[in-house]
Amino acid sequence: PIAATWGRSDLASSDMMSMETTKRVWQARLDPRRNTPSIGIYSHVKDRWGIFHAQPFVLNERQAGVAIEGVIRQEKLETSQLAVDTHGYTDFAMSHARLLGFDLCPRLKELKQRHLFVPRGTKVPAEIAAVCEANVDVALIEKHWDSLVHLAASVMSGHASAVAALARFGSAAQGDPIYEAGVQLGRLLRTAFLADYFVKDAFRNELRRVLNRGEAVNALKRAIYTGRISPAQAKRVDEMQAVADALSLMANIVMAWNTSQMQAVLDRWSNRRQVIPPELIGKIAPTRLESINLRGVFRFPVDRYADQILPSRPNASITGTNG
């Protein structure tokens, strides 16, 4: 019951955290924030908390492909909207995600990314003329629609990964008609998204909330994992995937335990007729670490070996008398 107060079941966010390694690892790139060689772990987090996908990734590269990959490579959760930051977004990725059955909802930082685009010949109201461009080629989208659908079908069926598809149709593909058609469609979808983002306060708050969830989970994972990723782990793709999955599992265990304890407290309070408003419960995160011992407990059975490591007083006195 407590999970229902946290948010929507069909909303999720994705974000990347960097994990330190050595510069001898071929996937390592310099983390601009920490100035250390690092490997990225890209995670998808539900609005109701919980990690449902994690994947190693190379730092300083566009994250749109791996963001889409995490949504379509699992079957138990139905995600209709995925919130990402600026690095997880491109115009082509927005159209590709829509063809795969969900919406990419980016948090756009730069003002130029917030321009509106409408089809050519559309009459733009004077109030938004300064931020609106009527240059979308609808005919180009219609001409290459089948190719865009074929690409989405290949990714959905697993014949190609979203990472490979978005790398193929990145900024270097300018001039390719399929890429240009995808960009034109993506601009239309971005305009529709921005219209909701600017007008609907509730929608804007939902995206901010779920993106904050991803950052909170990354902080939890960083507290769990200490040290560096060794070259032995990083030299193989399956080893790095095992590291990402194990770290996600540990974070999910912590959140599940916190959730169960929180629910037990709420149940006790409800029996005493102490009702907590759902809007307050929804602000309590299961990522707190104050009640979690992350390093275990050391137990030394001193009593079992006391006679061997500490001489008893009677024996010590007898030894002194004989001497």
Residue 156 burial class via C-beta count within 10 angstroms: exposed 0-12, middle 13-18, buried 19 and up: middle
Res 42: pLDDT: 94
Q: What does each of the 323 residues of the chain score in pLDDT, given as a tens digit?
A: 788 899 999 999 999 999 888 888 878 888 888 888 889 999 999 999 999 999 999 888 889 999 999 999 888 889 999 999 988 889 999 999 999 999 999 988 776 668 899 999 889 888 888 889 899 999 999 999 999 999 999 999 999 999 999 999 988 888 899 999 999 999 999 999 999 999 999 999 999 999 999 999 999 999 998 888 888 888 888 889 999 999 999 999 999 999 999 999 988 888 888 888 888 888 889 998 888 888 788 888 888 887 777 666 555 444 444 44
- Asked if 263 and 1 count as a contact pair (C-beta separation under 8 A), the reply is yes
Res 3: pLDDT: 87
DSSP string, 286-315: TT--TT--SS------GGGGHHHHS--HHH
Residue located via tokens 């983002």:
197
> What's the pTM value of the predicted model, to 2 decimals?
0.86
The closest alpha carbon to 13, from 272, 267, 214, 305, belongs to: 214
- Asked if 71 and 102 count as a contact pair (C-beta separation under 8 A), the reply is yes
- Coil, strand or helix: which one is 39? strand
Ranges of H-type helices in the chain: 64-72, 91-99, 138-143, 145-157, 162-168, 177-199, 201-224, 231-234, 237-271, 278-281, 306-309, 313-322
Res 34: pLDDT: 82
- Coil, strand or helix: which one is 202? helix
* End-to-end Cα distance, the chain: 74
- Asked if 260 and 292 count as a contact pair (C-beta separation under 8 A), the reply is no
Res 151: pLDDT: 96
* Cα 310 from chain centre: 54
Res 318: pLDDT: 46
Gyration radius (Cα) of the chain, Å: 27
Res 35: pLDDT: 86
Res 111: pLDDT: 60
Res 314: pLDDT: 57
- Asked if 247 and 233 count as a contact pair (C-beta separation under 8 A), the reply is no
